A and B are shown apart, each in its own frame.
Chain A
Amino acid sequence: MKTIATRIGVILAMILLGIFLFISGKEHAVFIENKGEKYTPKNAYYILDGKKEVKIKKKKKKREYVKGVNHTIEVRFKDADGIEKKVVKEFKTKMGKKITINAAMIENDSWMKIEELKSKK
């Protein structure tokens, strides 16, 4: 009886560890665009999860890959008055969801767009 319980315990622990690894190691695509409603900076710069700074030109869109659930994005750009701004935001990724971050609207509430991921047939 004790042996069976131990074996079941080991199997359950392995399944739980597997689920944890699946969630924390899953790669997600995140889209970053530089396209504001009223104002779009000429160039915006972003740092995703503390990695290398990337430049994104006006009205352009870039695809980045991130690992796991919790992420941070740091965006740097010049606003309409020519003042340098630096904004840091946190966001979460979910399976089956497409995330688009708008660097130009990073200060607004609608800085992130979450959509259902369409499967290609």
Chain B
Amino acid sequence: MENKGKKFLINNIVPIVILIMIVMAAPISGLSGGYLVQEMISRLSRNSFLVLSLIIPVVAGMGLNFGIVLGAMAGQLGLIFITDWRIVGMEGIMLAVLISLPIAVLLGILGGYILNKAKGREMITSIIMGFFINGVYQLIVLYGMGNIIPMTNKKIILSRGYGIRNAIDLKNIRQVLDKSMVVKVGEFTIPLLTILIIGGLCLFIVWFRKTKLGQDMRAIGQDMEIAKSAGIAVEKTRVLSIVISTVLASIGQIIFLQNIGTMNTYNSHEQIGMFSIAAILIGGATAAKASIPNALGGIILFHLMFVISPRAGKELVGSAQIGEFFRVFISYGVIALALVLHQWRREQENKAERKRMMEIQLSGGEK
């Protein structure tokens, strides 16, 4: 019984620590329960798709895909085009998705091949790859658009005649998904269509894991060499996992930005990888194991921290600016904490495994 409790504690150390921090900070912040619930509903619908896109590469043993930034860039390119062409409403969102799909697939294939060359160091490689493609994206958006790629909407073009403005107002598609099917439960507003889309993705992930490809990915994630000897095309399957993740991230970024209503052309995609990974880690996922409850639970915990901590900081110190520092401190601090706790958890597991093996050897010896 004691062992079970200890195991539960070790397995869920990250969410438990964050939960304790939330419980401590919530009364200090002075925010009402109703406000927090509404914020969580809104943020869950805004971020879930992006965070869920991280699950499939983890299953395939590729670690946490910081390369979802690539997908986010593809989504943003789709949004730039529909804003330029003045495509509005649901059609605008669908066309943005359609435009971003081939770009995301190409970037995913590129990412997958690069990660195959850097086996064992996928996470850091995907971070650097994100930086590299970010440079290419900036070059295209800042120089190519309006110069090589024709742009007609003067509102999004810089005054010099080429390059996209720093911020684009997405008023044509602002909260189209969130407001098209709304359910009121008491004082809370639930964006039903967005929740249904997220539910659809969850069902897809559950179904996908049971398919041959999903099983192959799991086998590769457990042991690449054994999977190779079993006849699984390891490299191709790994590329596919990254392509799926990148495509989902591109759709996720479109959902995210339609909720916000403004796009920061040169920065919106940069934080996506960090924030999504922080959220899934807080939910109790590791670089080797991630599930849907990890993703959804992580978003709730991460955003609770995000909402509560600046207010708690302000109440404690008495300065509004301090609250903003709290946001940065929380987002990056939480990733560091989650990774340290993850490493500690792995060490604990290894220690327990060694102890178990020793006991087996000793009991075998006694016989």
Could you list which residues of chain A lie within 8 angstroms of chain B, going by C-beta atoms?
Answer: 14, 17-18, 21-22, 24-27, 65, 67-68, 120
- Per the bound structure, the CA–CA distance linking A120 and B154 in Å amounts to 10
Question: Interface code B80-105, partner A: CB below 8 Å = 1, 0 otherwise?
Answer: 00100111111110110011010000
User: Please, how many residues of chain B have a CB less than 8 angstroms from a CB on the other chain?
Assistant: 16
Name the CB-closest residue of B to A65.
Answer: B88
Q: In the complex, are the beta carbons of B101 and A25 less than 8 A apart?
A: no
Contact of A21 with B86 at beta-carbon distance under 8 Å, contacts A14-B101, A27-B172 already known: no
Contacts of B92 in A (CB 8 A): 25
Rank and list the top 6 A-B pairs by shortest CB-CB distance, nearest first: A25-B91, A25-B87, A21-B95, A27-B86, A21-B91, A27-B88
Name the CB-closest residue of B to A20.
Answer: B91
Q: In the complex, are the beta carbons of A25 and B98 less than 8 A apart?
A: no
- Per the bound structure, the CA–CA distance linking A67 and B85 in Å amounts to 12
- Per the bound structure, the CA–CA distance linking A22 and B92 in Å amounts to 8
Question: Interface code B60-98, partner A: CB below 8 Å = 1, 0 otherwise?
Answer: 000000000000000000000010011111111011001
Q: In the complex, are the beta carbons of A25 and B99 less than 8 A apart?
A: no
Q: In the complex, are the beta carbons of B91 and A18 less than 8 A apart?
A: no
**In-complex Cβ contact of A14 among B91, B98, B172 (8 A):** B98
Q: In the complex, are the beta carbons of B95 and A22 less than 8 A apart?
A: yes
Q: In the complex, are the beta carbons of B98 and A67 less than 8 A apart?
A: no
Distance in angstroms from B95 CB to nearest chain A CB is 4
- Per the bound structure, the CA–CA distance linking A65 and B92 in Å amounts to 15
Q: In the complex, are the beta carbons of A18 and B98 less than 8 A apart?
A: yes
Could you list which residues of chain B lie within 8 angstroms of chain A, going by C-beta atoms?
Answer: 82, 85-92, 94-95, 98-99, 101, 154, 172
Contacts of B91 in A (CB 8 A): 21-22, 24-25, 67-68
- What would 5 A/B residue contacts be, using CB atoms closer than 8 Å? A17-B98, A21-B95, A25-B88, A25-B90, A65-B88
**In-complex Cβ contact of B87 among A17, A21, A65, A120 (8 A):** A21
Contacts of A25 in B (CB 8 A): 82, 87-92, 94-95
Distance in angstroms from B247 CB to nearest chain A CB is 13
Contacts of A26 in B (CB 8 A): 85-88
Distance in angstroms from B243 CB to nearest chain A CB is 14
Contact of A21 with B88 at beta-carbon distance under 8 Å, contacts A14-B101, A27-B172 already known: no
Distance in angstroms from A7 CB to nearest chain B CB is 12
**In-complex Cβ contact of A21 among B94, B101, B154, B172 (8 A):** B94
Contacts of A68 in B (CB 8 A): 91
- Other than the known A14-B98, A25-B92, what 15 A-B pairs have Cβ atoms closer than 8 Å? A17-B94, A18-B95, A21-B94, A22-B87, A22-B95, A24-B91, A25-B87, A25-B89, A26-B85, A26-B87, A26-B88, A65-B88, A67-B88, A67-B89, A67-B91
Contacts of A22 in B (CB 8 A): 85, 87, 91, 95
Name the CB-closest residue of B to A15.
Answer: B98
**In-complex Cβ contact of B99 among A18, A65, A67, A120 (8 A):** A18
